[in-house]
A and B are shown apart, each in its own frame.
Chain A
Amino acid sequence: MKHTFYLLVENHQGVLARIAGLFSGRGYNLESLTVGVTSDPTVSRITLVCIGDDMIMEQIKKQLNKIVDVIKVVDITYLPSVNRELSLIKINAKSSQRGEIFQIADVFRAKILDVGQSTMILEITGTSEKIDDFIALLSPYTIIELARSGLVSMERGKKLKKE
């Protein structure tokens, strides 16, 4: 089962290494990790996606909480939330194929960022599933390069208490 956590952490040097080290050191399965600073420059926000049974998830949550630089851990998997991922996709596209690609992009609300002699770069934002579907549709055009950001998540409604 896939779980999504978000973490608020001290914006200290080495925090990311501590968190990544926890996963490698204890053999937990980490699917994606994204990080960026919050509106408070001393705090960073991390979104983690990991895979495992409920017992492992409970352990992961507890172990993350044990890290001194971690201020808050929330398992957002079952909470009403907004989940977004960004992806850049470079594909082979002969000029004769561009029309179809524009159409697919339009349906998925993807942006065309670059059009070259025989390639195009598309940008798409959405849930991971939407991006998976989009990539599947594009695969006949030969994907040359693919960059995915990993998930960022936010709980709907409810305002976070100021720490």
Chain B
Amino acid sequence: MKKTGAKLIIEAMKKEGVEVIFGYPGGSVIPIFDELYHEPSIHVVLTRHEQGAVHAADGYARSTGKTGVCLVTSGPGATNTITGLATANFDSVPIVLLTGQVIRPMIGNDAFQEADMVGISRPVTKHNYLVNDRAHLGQTLKEAFFIANSGRPGPVVVDLPKDVVNEQLDDEYPETISIRGYNPVYVGHAGQIKKIAEAIKVSKKPVFYIGGGIHISGASEIFRKVVEKTKIPTISSLMGIGAIRSDHPLYLGMVGMHGTYASNMAMTETDLIIGIGTRFDDRVTGDLGKFAPHAKIIHIDIDPATIARNVTVEIPIVGDARQVLEKLMPLLHPADIDEWREIVSGWKKDYPLPDEEGKEIMPQRVVKEISEIFPEAIITTEVGQNQMFAALYYNFTKPRTFLTSGGLGTMGYGFPAAIGAQMGNRNKKVIDIAGDGSIQMNIQELATAVQEGLPVIVAILNNGYLGMVRQWQQIFKNSRYAATCLMRRPECPFHCEGKAGSWCHLYTVDFVKLADAYGAVGMRVTKPEEIKPALEEAGKSKDKPVFIDFIIARESNVFPMVPPGAGINEMLLGKEK
């Protein structure tokens, strides 16, 4: 029986098990939305911005492991997705984005709402397509889902001219596909895996260094067993957080620019790094010349292009983290490294994360209270100090519960990602730990959360500054706070030194009123003792998002901090040390 392209698209979604689509309509995708109107098994979430749609699909994908799906219109709808695509691409998140396109005869003619989406999105996607033949539609969609969520996952764009969507053809969604040029390697080389076990045997100071690949491949359980068997101290990148419990005795915490003292020192002293599903990002390594100077490096990753890109690797292993670890497990023995473990525990004990207390609310304290009251929440973050406080002070216990824009560092990610995560995890608590700057980048999604009845909590660490940038200005630019004060008004002195004066306005954005305006719940917390009751109250909301405006100390900083260009052992430890 003949069917339109739009009908085939819906058939594809159902066969791929798609339950929710994040989207925003427009002229060129009306036929597809019209089909969805008749399809009760697929829930359409109308976000308020296409960037929000992609981040939401991203949060859904990261928290569930499924592919996030988005549907937006041509031209401006399509170009609005670019930041979301780049974010997902950097952090290997499976997304299929369907974009509308003008009819084929108009392509290239500067038609109304035309954009060369395939050209624009090429550098920020894993792959992309323009479907210029109705007969290729099914095959293309099948490939898109396969490519998005296999190998090293990533976003795939399918650009759909309106006439292709409307054209009728008698076809079915294909069951199988094969792509000549795309054959991800999952099984690691057995000989190389044996070499890992041998290297561990002779190492005196080994560390595991884990990244987001552990979550993606579902390796967290086998990894925990490997750690418990070998008793090797474990370091995580930002993306690896949650793969092992944050309070695990062998876990040293996050490494890098805002890494813990123990992790950064262990990375500097180690003689063997077993890197799994991680990129050796420059925020992790600091000055490459000073990075892990004594270490032999083993690097396990599904993406060969990641291996040995930044550091010299002695044992490269291309493969899926889980499959490699499962093969490695029986070859392993407890490592004979008591002395090393003692040194490492000493660092952990002597240099805990700084914990400032005072009359004002400290952001660290807010995150710790969140951790106590909501111990198994899915935490999303924005970017800045809020992200680092969340990474360092929340006690993560489960994989896929820390969703953050690691590679691209996208402000405005956390809130829509929280919406997506809540859509995929109706019974879990989802909390966005936000800065007052970042939250304003996709604040319109409050309407989406209200419309969907999602009890997402947004904990705004409100310091009135673009805090992370202000921290850099304080340390490296002699406290010249250029364009980072969010409270600045016409009456402020031209050179404000950051000292509060009579001209300072509090609540430049009244987030409580704003929440109210959208039909959500708003709360303001100004004293440390109010943190807990407010969170508990927020936890009671079952069908409404809650904004909690935590008015925190204006100039609190994230420590430890490695100045740019320094070695990661050259940390600034903050006031006390």
A residues contacting B by CB (< 8 A) are 9-10, 13-14, 17-18, 21, 25, 55, 58-59, 62-63, 65-72, 163
If A62-B304, A65-B304 touch, whether A9 touches B181 (CB-CB below 8 Å) is yes
B residues contacting A by CB (< 8 A) are 118-119, 122-123, 126-127, 130, 132, 147, 179-182, 303-305, 308-309
Q: Which residue of A lies closest to B156 (CB)?
A: A68
> What are 25 contact pairs spanning A and B, CB under 8 A?
A10-B180, A10-B181, A13-B130, A14-B118, A14-B122, A14-B130, A17-B119, A17-B122, A18-B122, A21-B122, A21-B123, A55-B308, A62-B305, A63-B305, A65-B304, A65-B305, A66-B305, A68-B126, A68-B127, A68-B179, A68-B182, A69-B181, A70-B181, A71-B180, A163-B180
Total residue contacts A-B, CB cutoff 8 A: 40
A71 to B304, CA, bound (A): 16
Given the complex, which residues of B lie within 8 Å of A68, measured CB to CB? 126-127, 147, 179, 181-182
Given the complex, which residues of B lie within 8 Å of A13, measured CB to CB? 130, 132
Given the complex, which residues of B lie within 8 Å of A59, measured CB to CB? 305, 309
Given the complex, which residues of B lie within 8 Å of A67, measured CB to CB? 181
Closest beta carbon of chain A to B124's beta carbon, Å? 10
Q: Which residue of A lies closest to B147 (CB)?
A: A68
Given the complex, which residues of B lie within 8 Å of A63, measured CB to CB? 305
Closest beta carbon of chain A to B96's beta carbon, Å? 14
Q: Which residue of A lies closest to B119 (CB)?
A: A17
Q: Which residue of B lies closest to A67 (CB)?
A: B181
A70 to B183, CA, bound (A): 11
A161 to B304, CA, bound (A): 23
A43 to B182, CA, bound (A): 15
A69 to B140, CA, bound (A): 13
- Centre residue among B119, B123, B179, B305 by max chain A CB count within 10 A: B305
A71 to B308, CA, bound (A): 23
A132 to B181, CA, bound (A): 36
A13 to B140, CA, bound (A): 14
CB pair B181–A71 under 8 Å, yes or no, is yes
Interface contacts beyond A13-B132, A17-B119, A72-B181: sample of 10 additional A-B pairs, CB < 8 Å, sorted by A: A9-B181, A14-B118, A14-B122, A17-B122, A21-B122, A25-B123, A63-B305, A69-B181, A71-B181, A163-B180
Given the complex, which residues of B lie within 8 Å of A55, measured CB to CB? 308
Given the complex, which residues of A lie within 8 Å of B303, measured CB to CB? 66
- Centre residue among B126, B130, B132, B304 by max chain A CB count within 10 A: B304
